């Protein structure tokens, strides 16, 4: 049973939360089930779009599918909150199928289409191949994650990508301007495409902001996404190596990284250890004031763009990248960021946008390791 959530136009725009179970770049994991519940109401007028056949239609109802339940302060919650925000904006109902797991989601997509979804967001890269096929079989437009050109089918499938390295570059500047030990650390839950891009961007930003800064990097495991104990253990080892700022990319393991930051003894030269998160906002969980910032991924801008592409008849004809220039990649503002640091971040952001700063995209862990030398 799919859990239904209806969003009306009068609902306040939901604040994006998030940051842990990353369906964005991995396609496997533990299947979980969404609790069955149902809640319905009358949908207001929807957004006008153009169908695959060119006929105008209203998006009165849309849907979003995530691998895990949308209460993880991470990938799944961010995707659902972003989808809800867009549904509210265009006046459409939304059906949420969170906790759908990582196995074949064809039955879920068919059920959503049968229930009236006119635009379905398949929010995990592991869903890509299946979602593209189902979009064509069902003749229902689907938003696809992380498939590049293979995820685009004119009128039916629209792929969304990220320039995550650009957001991480800004986080590297913050880390470099904050460290007192002169060493910052990168902790990844796995050798993951987006983590590698972000690690490279972070390293470049830190080095640009502080000459001679030392960077350490460690990985939790082959697929340590949900390994909180491993995240804590590895973060502690990086802190023991002298890092007083930890850039943690981990899904569920990031909670362990955060715990390590909260409880470890600061290294020589530092009086506190800081944590920089990714994808969402863990501020409500930060009881000890160690969350320095987060590289927030706001997918609502991508989803709204996709709706506009449907209306224009150009859905599925080009790739869309979350980036700093379109508001898809932003740094979470916390009380710990000084005006001076924020000013430097804004200057770097503008440099990325106007092309005076080029952040090299790293595609392998070895490339990142070379940058750390």
pLDDT at residue 325 tops 70: yes
Are residues 110 and 42 part of one domain?
A: yes
Tens digit of each residue's pLDDT (9 = 90 or more) over 251-272: 889 999 999 999 999 999 999 9
Q: For the segment 225-259, what is each residue's pLDDT rounded down to a tens digit?
A: 889 999 999 999 999 999 999 999 988 899 999 99
CATH of residue 127's domain is: 3.40.50.2300
Residue 138 falls inside a structural domain: yes
Give CA 86 to chain center in angstroms: 16
Q: Look at residue 319 and tell me whether its pLDDT is greater than 80.
A: yes
Q: Are residues 39 and 154 in the same domain?
A: yes
Q: What does the pLDDT average to over 280-301? A: 96
228, 352: one domain: yes
Structural contact between residues 132 and 157, judged by C-beta atoms closer than 8 angstroms: yes
Cβ proximity of 306 and 316 under 8 Å: no
Backbone angles phi, psi at 256, to 5 degrees: -70, -40
Same-domain status, 211 and 350: yes
pLDDT at 310 over 60: yes
The whole-number pLDDT of residue 48 equals: 57
Same domain, 239 and 150: no
| pLDDT attached to residue 33 | 33
Report if residue 332 sits inside a domain. no
- Is pLDDT of 105 > 70? yes
Burial of 110 (0-12, 13-18, 19+ CB in 10 A): middle
CA distance 292 to 243: 14
In a domain, 56, yes or no: yes
Residue 328 lies in a domain: no
**pLDDT of 372 above 50:** yes
pLDDT score of 57: 59
Contact 309, 149 (CB under 8 A): no
Report d(CA 157, CA 310) in Å as an integer: 10
> Could you tell me which of 144, 119, 145 has the C-alpha nearest to residue 50?
119
227, 149: one domain: no
Do 79 and 228 belong together in one domain? Answer: no
Rounded mean pLDDT, 67-94: 95
Q: How far apart (Å, rounded) are the C-alpha atoms in residues 192 and 327?
A: 23
Q: Is the pLDDT of residue 80 over 50?
A: yes
Strand pairing class (157-162; 61-65):
unpaired
| Choice between 329 and 15, residue whose per-residue pLDDT is larger | 329
* In-domain check, residue 333: no
Residues 277 and 317 in one domain: no
Residue 330 located in a structural domain: no
Query: Residues 198-222: pLDDT tens digits?
Result: 999 999 999 999 999 999 999 999 9
Dmax (CA) of the chain: 66
Domain count, the chain: 2
What is the reported pTM?
A: 0.85
Query: Which residues span the domain enclosing 138?
Result: 4-162+298-322
pLDDT at 58: 77
Q: d(Cα 130, Cα 245) in Å, to the nearest integer? A: 40
- Asked if 222 and 306 sit in the same domain, the reply is no
pLDDT at residue 324 is higher than 60: yes
Which residues are CB-contacts of 245 (< 8 A; sequence separation ≥ 6)? Answer: 175, 178, 179, 184, 185, 273, 274, 275, 276, 292
Are residue 215 and residue 307 in the same domain, yes or no?
no
The pLDDT tens digits for 109-164 are 999 999 999 999 999 999 999 999 999 999 999 999 999 999 999 999 999 999 99
Cα–Cα dist 159/302, whole Å: 10
Residues 68 and 198 in one domain: no
Sort 188 into a burial class: Cβ within 10 Å, 0-12 / 13-18 / 19+. Answer: buried
**Pair (144, 258) in one structural domain:** no
Task: Identify whether 350 is part of a domain.
Answer: yes
- Indicate the burial class of 368 (C-beta count within 10 angstroms; 0-12, 13-18, 19 or more): buried
Closest alpha carbon to 181 in 103, 264, 105: 264
Residue 331 within any structural domain of the chain: no
């Amino acid at each position: 049973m799919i859990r239904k959530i209806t969003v009306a136009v009068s609902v306040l725009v939901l604040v994006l939360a998030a940051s842990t179970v990353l369906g964005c770049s991995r396609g496997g994991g533990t299947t979980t089930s969404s609790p069955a519940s149902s809640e319905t109401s009358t949908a207001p007028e929807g957004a006008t779009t153009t169908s695959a056949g060119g006929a105008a239609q209203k998006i009165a109802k849309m849907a979003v599918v995530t691998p895990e339940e949308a209460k993880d302060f991470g990938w799944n919650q961010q995707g659902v909150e972003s989808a809800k925000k867009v549904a509210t904006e265009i006046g459409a109902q939304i059906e949420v199928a969170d906790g759908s797991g990582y196995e074949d989601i064809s039955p879920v997509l068919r059920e959503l289409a049968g229930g009236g979804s006119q635009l379905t967001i398949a929010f995990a890269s592991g869903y890509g191949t299946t979602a593209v096929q189902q979009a064509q079989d069902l003749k229902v437009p689907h938003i696809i994650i992380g498939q590049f050109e293979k995820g685009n089918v004119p009128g039916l499938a629209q792929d969304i990508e990220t320039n995550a390295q650009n957001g991480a570059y800004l986080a590297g500047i913050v880390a470099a301007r904050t460290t007192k030990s002169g060493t910052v650390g990168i902790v990844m839950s796995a050798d993951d495409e987006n983590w590698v891009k972000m690690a490279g961007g972070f390293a470049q930003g830190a080095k640009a902001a502080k000459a001679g800064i030392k960077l350490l990097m460690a990985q939790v495991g082959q697929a340590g996404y949900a390994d909180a104990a491993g995240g804590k253990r590895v973060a502690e080892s990086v802190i023991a190596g002298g890092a007083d700022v930890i850039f943690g990319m981990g899904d569920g393991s990031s909670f362990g990284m955060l715990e390590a930051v909260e409880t470890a003894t600061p290294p020589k030269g530092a009086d506190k250890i800081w944590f920089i998160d990714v994808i969402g906002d863990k501020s409500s969980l930060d009881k000890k004031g160690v969350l320095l910032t987060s590289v927030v991924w706001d997918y609502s801008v991508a989803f709204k763009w996709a709706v506009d592409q449907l209306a224009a008849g150009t859905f599925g004809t080009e790739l869309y990248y979350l980036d700093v220039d379109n508001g898809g990649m932003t740094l979470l503002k916390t009380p710990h960021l000084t005006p001076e640091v924020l000013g430097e971040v804004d200057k770097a952001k503008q440099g990325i946008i106007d092309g005076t700063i080029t952040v090299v995209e790293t595609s392998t862990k070895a490339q990142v390791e070379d940058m750390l030398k």
